[in-house]
Amino acid sequence: MKVSEIGEFGLIERLSKMAQQTADKHQDAWKQLVVGIGDDAAAYFSNNEIQLATVDSLVQNVHFSLSYMTWQELGWKSIAVNLSDIAAMGGFPRYALVSLGLPGNTEVENVIDLYRGMFDIAGKFGVALVGGDTVSSSFVFISVTIIGSAGVKNRNILKRSAAQPGDQIAVTNSLGTSAGGLEMLKNNLTFSPKLSKQLRQAHLTPNPRVSEGQLLVEKGVKCGMDISDGFIGDLTHICQESKVGAQINIDLVPVAPAVKKCFGQRALEMALTGGEDYELLFTANPLVMNKVKKAIQCPVTVIGKMMAEKAGKVTLVDITGKIINTKKTGWDHFIK
Ligand code: ADP
Ligand code: MG
């Protein structure tokens, strides 16, 4: 059987089962584990704290092309996507390790620019870059590991598995801008300078919602993740891990105004399935949700609810309650 037949997530499911079956639960490493494969970051106890660890890679011509982005932007993004996974747990990022693959004919100045981008964002979020690995490769790849903390032992973390029937489903800010940016860059589309800048920034230099994730935990939110592969696909992960169903009202989705302006009718689909917005998707009961809305700096929009029925599935409805069918849900690395 080929990887493309089961897809990225089918493959991860098998690997996760193997890890479960071969785990020696008496060993310290397993005893101290809070969250393993299946969430945005792994979480484990150490010295009365919960520690977080996550790794994500960017591969040339799969995740990015140097034809439309600078090395500095690439550096920023490679750290940003990992910080977003720490944000998705409500944690505090601390240390970064960078594994770098480069063709031998790469200009040194380009690599310096790459690290300028990395140090820019690392500095902004208080992350220390403390190591890595450099290897020769026929294409550029950057794999970043981030170690963080989720605070003391009894502090909550945002888990994909903690949604409850009756929870409201919300997202931070708006969706679709990154997908719009990718489309603009790939197809050389021209928009006004203001819109172009917004789309470009969203796709190439996203801002991970680290402080927002921490605030969610403080206000009592237990379930959350970041939107990296596409809203519907990502929410499906929450449904599967929490064994609940989700109903989304598509008329409430906060589609980014810039995307509406540039892509008209396609904007909603881009918001629902485009991915890489690195906003937070979370669920909470109405009481907790109100506390969040009062305290958080950025917009938060409730767009649906969790329910006991249709466990593992996302249902889309419009404002009249009519069910909307969609095949596309998001990005899978092997299923096109
Ligand atoms: P994210 O998009 O938040 O980075 P992914 O969808 O990439 O998360 O991964 C889902 C889960 O599967 C994560 O817990 C991740 O650590 C785990 N995972 C992904 N690939 C592998 C792998 N090759 N081996 C073990 N675990 C993996
Ligand atoms: Mg994630």
Total number of residues shown for the chain: 336
Q: Is the separation of the CB atoms in 88 and 76 below 8 Å?
A: no
Helix axes 210-218, 71-87, angle to 10 degrees: 10
Atom of ligand 1 nearest to the CA of 229: 2
How many whole angstroms separate alpha carbon 128 and alpha carbon 253? 36
Predicted pLDDT at 12: 95
Predicted pLDDT at 336: 64
Write the residue with the smallest CA distance to atom 11 of ligand 1.
Answer: 38
Angle at 72 between CA 67 and CA 77, to 5 degrees: 90
Q: Is the separation of the CB atoms in 79 and 113 below 8 Å?
A: no
Contact residues of ligand 1, CB 6 A cut-off: 12, 15, 37-40, 56, 85, 228-229
Look at residues 86, 95, 94 and name the one whose alpha carbon lies nearest to residue 35. Answer: 86
Which tokens go with 45?
């106890």
Q: What is the number of the ligand closest to the CA of 225?
A: 2
Tell me, in angstroms, the distance from the centre of ligand 1 to residue 109's CA: 32
Q: Is the separation of the CB atoms in 150 and 52 below 8 Å?
A: yes
How many whole angstroms separate alpha carbon 142 and alpha carbon 133? 10
Predicted pLDDT at 26: 85
Predicted pLDDT at 24: 85
Q: What is the number of the ligand closest to the CA of 208?
A: 2
Give the pairing type, strands 300-307 and 323-324.
unpaired
Give me the residue label for tokens 């899978």: 332
How many whole angstroms separate alpha carbon 309 and alpha carbon 220? 25
Handedness of CA 17, 239, 175, 122 (dihedral sign): negative
Q: What is the number of the ligand closest to the CA of 280?
A: 2
**What radius of gyration, in Å, describes the C-alpha atoms of the chain?**
20
Per-residue pLDDT of the chain (336 residues; tens, 9 = 90+): 999 999 999 999 999 999 999 988 889 999 999 999 999 999 999 988 999 999 999 999 999 999 999 999 999 999 999 999 999 999 999 999 999 999 999 999 999 999 999 999 999 999 999 999 999 999 999 999 999 999 988 899 999 999 999 999 999 999 999 999 999 999 999 999 999 999 999 999 999 999 999 999 999 999 999 999 999 999 999 999 999 999 999 999 999 999 999 999 999 999 999 999 999 999 999 999 999 999 999 999 999 999 999 999 999 999 999 999 887 777 777 776
How many whole angstroms separate alpha carbon 37 and alpha carbon 160? 11
Predicted pLDDT at 179: 98
Tell me, in angstroms, the distance from the centre of ligand 1 to residue 9's CA: 8
Predicted pLDDT at 150: 96
Write the residue with the smallest CA distance to atom 15 of ligand 1.
Answer: 37
| Phi (first) and psi of residue 129, to 5 degrees | -85, 115
Predicted pLDDT at 80: 98
Tell me, in angstroms, the distance from the centre of ligand 2 to residue 159's CA: 11
Tell me the whole-structure pTM to 2 decimals: 0.96
Q: Choose which residue among 8, 12, 229, 237 to substitute to test ligand 1 binding: the one with the highest number of ligand atoms within 8 A of its C-beta.
A: 12
Tell me, in angstroms, the distance from the centre of ligand 2 to residue 56's CA: 9
Q: Choose which residue among 15, 37, 85 to substitute to test ligand 1 binding: the one with the highest number of ligand atoms within 8 A of its C-beta.
A: 37
Residues 6+ apart with CB under 8 A from 301: 170, 171, 252, 253, 254
